Amino acid sequence: MSNFLPNELINRLREDSHFDTNAFIDTHERGDRVTSIRLNPEKLGDRAFSNAEPVSWCDHAFYLDERPVFTLDPLYHAGCYYVQEASSMFLGHIIEKLGLKDSQSRALDLCAAPGGKSTLISSYLGLDSLLVSNEVIKSRANILVENLTRWGTHHVIVTNNDPGAFSRLPGYFDLMVVDAPCSGSGMFRKDPDAIDEWSLANVKLCSDRQKRILAESLATLATGGYLIYSTCSYSIEENEDILDWIMSTYEFESVQIPTDAAWGIEETRSAQKQAFGYRFYPHNVKGEGFFVSVLKKLDHQETFNRKRAKPEKSNVPKQVLQDWLSSTSDIHAFLHNENIHVFPSSYEADLKWIQQVLYIRNAGTNIGKWTGRELIPSQDLALSILIKPDLPAQQVSLAVAQDYLRKENLSRTDFEGENGWSLVQYNGVNLGWVKLLPNRVNNYYPKESRIMNL
């Protein structure tokens, strides 16, 4: 028996005759750290980390031999990649096998912060889709906005609502991802301190909370839509038992997802309904503990009146958009608190529907403040994939890039070109804005995002 893992957990896992208890304990006692990242295909593609070992079940994802100090890497701050646990990247494989990759789907990431799964969903569904990323805790919603802003896509709405609020949009979403709050046993190797918080009572508490979240929100899923349910827990009560509860309470069918035996993922079946689940154990896969499953909604779901309102005439001058954006096709621009936001025009009606029933933290991309005569460009625009590629820009060294990210004073000798707005670029990727003056450089990197220690 393990010297530090909870005996109650080990005893439950040993009920599976195929479970390798010794290997599981040994993996945790060694405490190996696995670092994995997923690249932003709209920014970096596979230009970096090309020699790293790929994550088998996710595009543009790699394992790193050692964990660098990501704070020191300007490409991290530019949204070129996201540091994400490899097991949870299996979501990409699921989306692809469901036939939703590069689709025109409406998706909800219900418990989205800090944003790893949302950035993955955004990339896999593609720019013709609509993603609503929700987080109920306000402070975590701020982090979610920041990470999605770095990712640079404009087809995302960030909301800050209790899960029950989504029942106001019945039958709306084609895909619903619920990475449910859980007891966290799958993170024991990565975060040993979490072991002290684990108990059977907490497992029961989490299971009840998971049922409440699902019961209050499942109506928002359309008939024929898919629910992807996941946790970072090993407990059956939070995983397979939840599948049985859903299928006993509502009309859903289980969806089997094909996997490669070489990946080491264990396919399980729930006790009552024989629903398929997929377990990731750290002694079998190169990743942390994870559980995920897919259910398809069968029962008829009433929806709301989707009468499309007549598109409102934008009060944003077209020339402003043409001056700063690479393309203005399928772009709906609107003013909010003097800031110009751009959003897919194909989902303009959707934005209005959502705005009527939910609290929106951010919609699309805020490209800057409109003074009535000129645009003061935003950090969001600098990181957006919509930004015009031929705007004034200055390539800088690593040292200057780090000074910029610390919001330090910058030397005019490091910046060529005429006075005015200029992008700061590192390795060809935008970091943000400066304003060049005859004898100085004004650093416009956001104060709240600056690096405090290097």
Q: Is there a contact between 144 and 118 (Cβ–Cβ < 8 Å)? A: yes
Kindly tell me if the per-residue pLDDT of 3 is higher than 70. Answer: no
Which member of 58, 182, 206, 232 is catalytic? Answer: 232
CA–CA gap between residue 111 and residue 136 (Å, rounded): 7
Annotated binding site for S-adenosyl-L-methionine: 111-117, 135, 162, 179
Residue 291's identity, in one-letter code, is F
Q: What is the pTM of this model?
A: 0.96
For residues 308 and 105, the model is more confident at 105
Q: Strand runs (DSSP E) across 358-419, as ranges?
A: 360-363, 365-370, 375-377, 393-395
pLDDT by residue (tens digit) across 69-91?
Answer: 999 999 999 999 999 999 999 99
Is CATH 3.10.450.720 the right assignment for the domain spanning 318-449?
yes
CA–CA gap between residue 3 and residue 359 (Å, rounded): 47
- DSSP letter for 376, please: E
Q: What is the layout of strands, in order, in the sheet containing 441-443?
A: 393-395, 420-426, 429-436, 441-443
Can you tell me whether residue 257 is helix, strand or coil?
coil
Can you give the residue ranges of every domain in the chain?
A: 318-449
Residue 269's identity, in one-letter code, is R
Q: Is there a contact between 79 and 40 (Cβ–Cβ < 8 Å)? A: yes
Q: Which two tokens stand for residue 431?
A: 């970091």
Burial of 345 (0-12, 13-18, 19+ CB in 10 A): middle
Q: Is there a contact between 424 and 401 (Cβ–Cβ < 8 Å)? A: yes
Q: Which residues contact 205 (CB under 8 A, 6 or more apart)?
A: none
Q: Which residues contact 51 (CB under 8 A, 6 or more apart)?
A: none
Kindly tell me if the per-residue pLDDT of 147 is higher than 70. Answer: yes
Place of tokens 């990242």: 37
Mean pLDDT over 86-100 rounds to: 98
CA 295 and chain centroid, separation: 21
pLDDT at residue 1, rounded to an integer: 47
**Catalytic residue flag (residue 232):** yes
pLDDT by residue (tens digit) across 60-74?
Answer: 999 999 998 999 999
